[in-house]
Structure 1
């Protein structure tokens, strides 16, 4: 009952995974900023637009909190 050998691929994936989390978080942040800008340019927003902005803010806050906790 020997332990399986450690693979170098596991170490590489461990180094790349945090990078993908940063990329996803950055893309979410950019999306929220662009959608907020678009809503502000439209003038008074409708209820659907306001819900979209609040939903985007919740997603962005969740993603940023997750990224900060993993550091």
Structure 2
């Protein structure tokens, strides 16, 4: 089995409440926030990992491993 690497973009914006909002445009709906850019980044990566983790109850045995590499 070989692993695949996905390259994705994290976009940051400053929220009206002072929090930093992070989103991943390649996966619509993947957004999170944090008090700092670093916290927002960690939170959106966690959200992305949750979204991309297959549900074992739905797996049909033809799954492929996914390696998600994060670059600074």
Is this a same-fold pair by TM over 0.5? no
How high is the TM-score relative to the length of structure 1?
0.37
How high is the TM-score relative to the length of structure 2?
0.36
If asked which structure has higher relative contact order (CA below 8 Å, sep 6+), I would say 1
More helix by share: 1
Bigger-Rg structure (1/2):
1
